[in-house]
């Protein structure tokens, strides 16, 4: 694929015969209104690894408004100076852009620390005073974003407390928004309950639920790929596509998060949010605009069309697995049950493969296969669209394949692979004639590589998402009904698994460094298909 002609301008909708869903969503370097970001849980890992480095990168790119301020709210007793110093070190260590002293001095000027006990139920006088002071000194005009970087058990009580203290009302013309991250509940009922409680303090339009996958450049590019190109749409349906495979493979284990993972597992940790989001974008209809509610409306419609899996069918529609000890990149790694915080007889899944049927005109009969796992041989997230085979091959002779010469009806089907990470890019596989006197056919690839097509570095997901929240753009955040639909799909599986637990040996059923349990291969083979070798 040629990677030279890159045109970022999208023609105006009225010049485009079918309307242009992308033009309204393009933001040409808009700078948000001055605001204060209050980070609850400011001494935690997320603040130093992701949030403050992302904000600093936005400042370096000139995308933050003058007066933008940060209030770190945390349990420990420390001065603003100590907090600033810790954040300075964090930016130097984890930042995408190098630390520059002059910029840091301006950026950190708007930083405050405020002691805050999540478990206390007292007023929020300190915080309120800090916010009013910032409004006066830095012109933040009552615009506030509350980032809940706290354990999920604190989400509802904190929202309620902010509401009670009048900090969530938008009566003075300033905006009040909240950002939370998964888990948004553990199942459908608890997700509904959480949404209900958040709404006592914040309207849905004030709630920004982060799924960091939606902030990834390559995931946003899915929208452009699908709706900024005319040639794929006619093929993007059951008539031409045999099936879709979505893989989120990780080679890491639970990385010290054994306690969290015991509660969560791969289905809740990755499928319910990241993978289902990818599926929704690949499967949805074209929105009229990439803006506000339209994209989320289309995603929800797609999720509603997902055929419910009855808990009794959970085992025939899914495969779960748990990693045992093994080798990754030449290093011996422990099994899941040997990880800190994990029960020695844990049955928690670290691998899931599942089949999703979508009951609508576009996808009926074209399944989506989803899989994710920890301690697989490599880190790779990709979406593979496998097209149907040619209905009849007019070529005599044999086809050259990696397995040798095979009969002509073995011509591989076309495949379109959208690589989300790493090696971000797109590959189209098609058949070509091998040069020579005979008609030998082999598949070849056309490749588009982000790295060589665009010589700029991609921003981090958190940069995009924090900026969007400041701008009031909710397109890349998960809406209440989206989250609940994703839980509808997953809760039935969890219910089915709970009533049919695997035996102790049956769960620890793949060695680290392999592509998951044998059963995952058999599961695909039953449908006459196979997982892509990544
Ligand atoms: C997180 C999960 O949401 O996503 C982690 O909790 C996982 O378990 C991570 O490792 C993967 O994100 P990324 O961006 O590295 O693909």
In the predicted model, what is the mean pLDDT of residues 502-527?
A: 87
Contact 281, 248 (CB under 8 A): no
Which of the residues 212, 243, 274, 291 is marked catalytic? 274
For 376-414, how does the pLDDT look when each residue is reduced to its tens digit (9 = 90+)?
Answer: 999 999 999 999 998 887 876 566 666 666 665 667 899
Contact 170, 143 (CB under 8 A): no
With the most atoms of ligand 1 within 8 angstroms of its CB, the residue from 269, 375, 380, 459 to mutate is 269
For 228-266, how does the pLDDT look when each residue is reduced to its tens digit (9 = 90+)?
Answer: 999 999 999 999 999 999 999 999 999 989 999 999 999
In the predicted model, what is the mean pLDDT of residues 55-63?
A: 95
- Per-residue pLDDT at 111 exceeds 50: yes
Percentage of the residues of the chain whose pLDDT score is greater than 90: 79
In the predicted model, what is the mean pLDDT of residues 487-514?
A: 88
With the most atoms of ligand 1 within 8 angstroms of its CB, the residue from 273, 274, 341, 350 to mutate is 274
Do 169 and 232 lie in a common domain? no
Assess whether 274 carries a catalytic annotation.
yes
Do 360 and 446 lie in a common domain? yes
Q: Give distance in angstroms: CA of 528 to centre of ligand 1.
A: 31
With the most atoms of ligand 1 within 8 angstroms of its CB, the residue from 250, 258, 379 to mutate is 250
3 part of a folded domain: no
- Per-residue pLDDT at 56 exceeds 70: yes
What 8-state DSSP symbol labels residue 217? H
- Per-residue pLDDT at 71 exceeds 60: yes
Q: Distance (Å, rounded) from C-alpha 206 to C-alpha 170?
A: 10
**Residue 218 structure tokens:** 């390559």
Instruction: Please report the atom of ligand 1 found closest to the CA of residue 257.
Output: 8
Report the nearest-CA residue for atom 6 of ligand 1: 269
What is the CATH number for 248? 3.30.360.10
Helix axes 217-227, 276-283, angle to 10 degrees: 20
> Among 213, 233, 254, which residue terminates a domain?
213
Question: What is the number of domains present in the chain?
Answer: 2
Which residue matches tokens 């748990």?
Answer: 322
pLDDT attached to residue 423: 85
pLDDT attached to residue 100: 94
pLDDT attached to residue 352: 97
**Is the model's pTM score more than 0.75?**
yes
Q: Distance (Å, rounded) from C-alpha 21 to C-alpha 83?
A: 44
In the predicted model, what is the mean pLDDT of residues 213-226?
A: 94
Do 34 and 108 lie in a common domain? yes
In the predicted model, what is the mean pLDDT of residues 450-454?
A: 87
386 part of a folded domain: yes
Q: Distance (Å, rounded) from C-alpha 92 to C-alpha 233?
A: 45
Q: Give distance in angstroms: CA of 382 to centre of ligand 1.
A: 14
Q: Distance (Å, rounded) from C-alpha 273 to C-alpha 339?
A: 24
In the predicted model, what is the mean pLDDT of residues 192-198?
A: 97
- Per-residue pLDDT at 124 exceeds 60: yes
> Among 165, 181, 213, which residue terminates a domain?
213
Do 153 and 176 lie in a common domain? yes
Domain that holds residue 192: 21-213
In the predicted model, what is the mean pLDDT of residues 281-301?
A: 94
Do 157 and 25 lie in a common domain? yes
The CB density around residue 421, as the number of other CB atoms within 10 Å, is 16
Contact 277, 258 (CB under 8 A): no
The CB density around residue 108, as the number of other CB atoms within 10 Å, is 20
Do 175 and 297 lie in a common domain? no
Q: Distance (Å, rounded) from C-alpha 292 to C-alpha 273?
A: 20
Which helix (DSSP H) or strand (DSSP E) does residue 294 occupy? helix 293-304
Report the nearest-CA residue for atom 5 of ligand 1: 269
- Per-residue pLDDT at 506 exceeds 90: no
pLDDT attached to residue 35: 97
Buried b / exposed e along 336-366 (16+ C-beta atoms within 10 A): bbebeebeeebbbbbbbbbbbbbeeebbeeb
Q: Distance (Å, rounded) from C-alpha 314 to C-alpha 493?
A: 5
For 2-53, how does the pLDDT look when each residue is reduced to its tens digit (9 = 90+)?
Answer: 333 333 333 333 333 344 444 443 455 678 999 999 999 999 999 999 999 9
16-30, 206-220, 239-253, 425-439: which range is least confident on average?
16-30
pLDDT attached to residue 407: 63
Q: Is 33 left (phi over 0), alpha (psi -120 to 50) or beta?
A: beta
Q: Distance (Å, rounded) from C-alpha 188 to C-alpha 227?
A: 31
Report the nearest-CA residue for atom 10 of ligand 1: 250
> Among 195, 213, 231, which residue terminates a domain?
213
**Ligand 1 pocket residues where CB is under 6 Å:** 250, 269, 381
CA of 444: how far to CAs of 43, 58, 402, 454, 534, in Å?
A: 51, 41, 12, 24, 16
Do 154 and 223 lie in a common domain? no
Q: Distance (Å, rounded) from C-alpha 469 to C-alpha 206?
A: 9
229 part of a folded domain: yes
From 67, 83, 74, select the one nearest 135 (Cα to Cα).
67
Do 164 and 220 lie in a common domain? no
255 part of a folded domain: yes
pLDDT attached to residue 93: 96
Which residue matches tokens 């697995």?
Answer: 321
Find the length of the chain.
534
For 318-366, how does the pLDDT look when each residue is reduced to its tens digit (9 = 90+)?
Answer: 999 999 999 999 999 999 999 999 999 999 999 999 999 999 999 999 9
CA 448 to chain centre: 22
Instruction: Please report the atom of ligand 1 found closest to the CA of residue 250.
Output: 10
15 part of a folded domain: no
* Phi–psi pair at 41, nearest 5 degrees: 95, 35
Do 149 and 243 lie in a common domain? no
In the predicted model, what is the mean pLDDT of residues 295-300?
A: 97
Biggest alpha carbon–alpha carbon distance for the chain: 85
13 part of a folded domain: no
What is the CATH number for 133? 3.40.50.720
């Amino acid at each position: 694929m040629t990677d030279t002609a890159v045109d970022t301008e999208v023609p105006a909708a009225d010049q485009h015969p079918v309307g242009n869903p992308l033009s309204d969503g393009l933001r040409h370097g808009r700078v948000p209104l001055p605001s204060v970001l209050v980070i609850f849980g400011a001494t935690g890992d997320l603040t130093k690894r992701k949030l403050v480095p992302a904000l600093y990168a936005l400042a370096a790119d000139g995308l933050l408004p003058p007066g933008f301020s940060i209030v770190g709210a945390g349990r420990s007793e420390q001065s603003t100076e100590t907090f600033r110093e810790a954040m300075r070190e964090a930016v130097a260590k984890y930042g995408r852009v190098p630390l520059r002293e002059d910029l840091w001095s301006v950026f950190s000027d708007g930083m405050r620390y405020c002691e805050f006990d999540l478990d206390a139920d007292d007023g929020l006088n300190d915080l309120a005073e800090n916010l009013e002071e910032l409004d006066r000194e830095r012109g933040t005009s009552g615009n506030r974003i509350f980032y809940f970087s706290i354990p999920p058990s604190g989400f509802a009580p904190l929202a309620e407390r902010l509401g009670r203290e009048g900090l969530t009302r938008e009566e003075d013309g300033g905006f009040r928004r909240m950002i939370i991250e998964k888990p948004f509940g553990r199942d459908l009922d608890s997700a509904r309950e959480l949404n209900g409680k958040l709404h006592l303090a914040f309207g849905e339009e004030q709630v920004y639920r982060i799924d960091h996958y939606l902030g990834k450049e390559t995931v946003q590019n899915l929208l452009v790929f699908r709706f900024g190109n005319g040639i794929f749409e006619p093929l993007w349906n059951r008539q031409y596509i045999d099936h879709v495979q979505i893989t989120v493979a990780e080679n890491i284990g639970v990385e010290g998060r054994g306690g969290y993972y015991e509660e969560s597992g791969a289905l809740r940790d990755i499928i319910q949010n990241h993978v289902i989001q990818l599926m929704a974008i690949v499967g949805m209809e074209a929105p009229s605009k990439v803006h506000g509610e339209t994209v989320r409306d289309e995603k929800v419609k797609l999720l509603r069309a997902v055929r419910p899996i009855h808990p009794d069918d959970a085992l025939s529609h899914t495969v779960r697995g748990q990693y045992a000890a093994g080798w990754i990149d030449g290093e011996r790694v422990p099994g899941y049950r040997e990880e800190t915080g994990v029960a020695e007889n844990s049955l928690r899944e670290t691998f899931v493969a599942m089949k999703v049927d979508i009951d609508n005109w576009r996808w009926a009969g074209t399944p989506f296969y989803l899989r994710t796992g920890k301690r697989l041989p490599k880190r790779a997230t990709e979406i593979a669209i496998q097209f149907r085979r040619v209905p009849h091959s007019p070529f005599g002779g044999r086809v050259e394949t990696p397995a040798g010469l095979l009969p002509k009806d073995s011509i591989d089907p076309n495949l379109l692979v959208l690589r989300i990470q790493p090696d971000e890019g797109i590959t189209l596989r098609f058949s070509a004639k091998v040069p020579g006197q005979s008609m030998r056919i082999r598949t070849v690839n056309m490749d588009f590589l982000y790295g060589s097509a665009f010589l700029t570095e991609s921003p981090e997901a958190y940069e995009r998402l924090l900026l969007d929240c400041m701008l009031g753009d909710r397109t890349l955040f998960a809406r209440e009904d989206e989250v609940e639909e994703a839980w509808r799909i997953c809760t039935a599986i969890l219910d089915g698994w709970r009533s049919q637990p695997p035996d102790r040996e049956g769960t620890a059923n793949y060695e680290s460094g392999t592509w998951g349990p044998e059963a995952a291969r058999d599961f695909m083979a039953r449908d006459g298909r196979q997982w892509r070798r990544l």
